[in-house]
């Protein structure tokens, strides 16, 4: 599971800056080039928390629809939550991504990405970009990037499916298991506490 989490975060990390590109595949390709170029300029010893968090905030967060991915991750519990809880969870889940992505960036060691043409739904409001992540060992891992176009005509990421496993579904299963023993407020508090600890 830890290895899959690292792959998930590296995959979502490639979606940077050019989120308004009309072609989702071009968005992925342009983002990948920018991310890899900036990572290549950092020596391994330079990849401290501050530098990595800067990359996360610059490349990942602007391109992911935070509310949508939080809603999907929480699943059926989203509707049961109050508006205040939904907002608090979205913020805490964003911070969880920052913390997790920061750790994943430190594991980047030269992975390469290739992508095919985007496949759209009927009204072209959603798209799937299929690709592969080639490991330095030569192993190719299939990837599906799920995206949608928002009201501002920006393509946003809301899920990544790695070797058949959905990132959102994985988070949903983990949260569902936790909610059997904890309240949503407790989970939010724990997520905030974990993020604050990582910041120290």
Residue 8 pLDDT:
57
The pLDDT confidence band at residue 100, using thresholds 50, 70 and 90, is: confident
Compare 68 and 54 and report the one with higher pLDDT.
Answer: 68
Percent of the chain whose predicted confidence (pLDDT) is above 90: 36
Count structural domains, the chain.
Answer: 1
Read off the tokens for 78.
């989203």
Query: Which of 21-30, 161-170, 181-190 has the highest mean predicted lDDT (pLDDT)?
Result: 181-190
> What integer pLDDT is reported at residue 20 of this predicted model?
47
Can you spell out the DSSP letters for the chain?
A: -HHHHHHHHHHHHT--S-TT-SSHHHHHHHHHHHHHHHHHTS-GGG--HHHHHHHIIIIIGGGB-HHHHHHHHHTTHHHHS-HHHHHHHHHHHHHHHHHHHHHHHTT----EEEE---EE-TTSSEEEEEEEEE-TTS-EEEEEEEEEE-TTS-EEEEEEEETTEEHHHHHHHHHHHHTTTS-HHHHHHHHHHHHHHHH-
Which pLDDT value is given to residue 19?
45
Residue-level pLDDT at 10: 58
Q: Please compute the mean of the pLDDT values over residues 180-200 and round it to a whole number.
A: 87
Answer yes or no: pTM beyond 0.85. Answer: no
3-state SS record for 34-53: HHHHHHHCCCHHHCCHHHHH
Tell me how far apart the alpha carbons of residues 43 and 36 are, in angstroms, rounded to a whole number: 13
The answer, yes or no, to whether residue 173 has pLDDT greater than 90, is yes
pLDDT band at 109 (very low <50, low <70, confident <90, very high): confident
Domain with 109, as residue range(s), is: 2-199
- pLDDT (0 to 100) of residue 123: 92
* Contacts of residue 124, Cβ cutoff 8 Å, sequence gap at least 6: 149
Average per-residue pLDDT for the chain? 83
Output the pLDDT for position 193: 87
Each as own residue / partner, the long-range contacts of residues 126-130 (CB below 8 Å, 24 or more positions apart, any chain) are 127/24, 127/155, 129/24, 129/25, 129/28
pLDDT in tens, 6-45: 555 555 555 544 444 458 888 777 767 777 778 778 887 7
| Least confident among 110-114, 132-136, 185-189 | 110-114
Q: Using one digit for the tens of pLDDT, what is the confidence trace for 64-79?
A: 899 999 999 999 999 9
**What CATH number does residue 157 fall under?**
3.10.450.710
In this structure, are residues 4 and 162 in contact, taking their beta carbons and an 8 Å threshold?
yes
């Amino acid at each position: 599971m830890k290895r899959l989490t690292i792959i998930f975060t590296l995959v979502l990390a490639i979606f940077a800056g050019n989120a308004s590109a009309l072609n989702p595949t071009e968005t992925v390709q342009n983002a990948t080039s920018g991310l890899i170029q900036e990572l290549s300029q950092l020596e391994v010893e330079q990849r401290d928390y501050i530098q990595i968090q800067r990359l996360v905030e610059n490349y990942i967060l602007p391109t992911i629809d935070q509310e949508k991915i939080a809603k999907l991750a929480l699943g059926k519990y989203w509707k049961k939550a109050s508006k205040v809880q939904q907002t608090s969870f979205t913020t805490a889940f964003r911070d969880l991504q920052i913390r997790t992505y920061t750790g994943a960036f430190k594991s980047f060691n030269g992975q390469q990405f290739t992508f095919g043409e985007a496949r759209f739904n009927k009204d072209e409001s959603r798209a799937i970009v299929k690709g592969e992540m080639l490991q330095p060992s030569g192993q190719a891992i299939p990837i599906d990037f799920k995206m949608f176009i928002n009201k501002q005509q920006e393509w946003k990421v809301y899920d990544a499916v790695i070797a058949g496993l959905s990132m959102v579904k994985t988070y949903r299963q983990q949260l569902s298991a936790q909610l059997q023993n904890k309240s949503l407020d407790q989970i939010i508090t724990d997520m905030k506490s974990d993020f604050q600890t990582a910041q120290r």
